[in-house]
């Protein structure tokens, strides 16, 4: 009977486990790349390999180009930028025409910057 209860608890715990992560990103080094703010939040669904939600700054127009095992690459056609997110190092980098802006990201439970 104890084994049956243990199996039910294990199935419940593993089925509830989500692969979504809320990333709270803050500028790691000050730069003159003024088009983007100093912090933003993204919700990434690692199970479905999608970018579920974004807030803060102007990177709400990012489109996922590649969702790899170690890196996510995004393109923003409105502001003509590319972004990369290194999953293992938790570093978000935005590349513009002549500028580069880097952010450190931390896993969180709540969005740090509202969309409005």
The per-residue pLDDT for range 52-102, each reduced to its tens digit, is: 666 766 566 778 899 988 999 999 888 888 999 999 999 999 888 888 889
Classify strands 63-67 and 71-76 as parallel, antiparallel or unpaired: antiparallel
Side-chain half-sphere exposure of 7, counting CA atoms within 13 A: 4
- Beta bridge partner(s), residue 105: 25
What is the per-residue DSSP string for 49-105?
TEEEEEESSSGGG-EEEEE-SSEEEEEETTTTEEEEEETTTTEEEEE-SS-EEEEEE
**pLDDT of the residue at 114:** 47
Average pLDDT of the chain, as a whole number: 77
Q: What is the pLDDT of residue 84?
A: 93
Q: What are phi and psi of 43, to 5 degrees?
A: -110, 120
């Amino acid at each position: 009977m104890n084994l049956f209860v243990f199996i039910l608890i294990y199935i419940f715990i593993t089925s509830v486990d989500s692969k979504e992560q809320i990333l709270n990103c803050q500028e790691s080094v000050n730069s003159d790349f003024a088009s983007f703010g100093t912090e933003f939040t993204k919700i990434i669904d690692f199970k479905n390999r999608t970018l579920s939600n974004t807030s803060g700054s102007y990177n709400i127009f990012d489109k996922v180009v590649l969702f790899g095992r170690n890196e996510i690459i995004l393109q923003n056609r409105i502001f003509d930028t590319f972004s990369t997110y290194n999953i293992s190092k938790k570093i978000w980098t935005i590349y513009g025409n002549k500028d580069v802006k880097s952010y450190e990201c931390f896993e969180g439970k709540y969005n740090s910057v509202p969309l409005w």
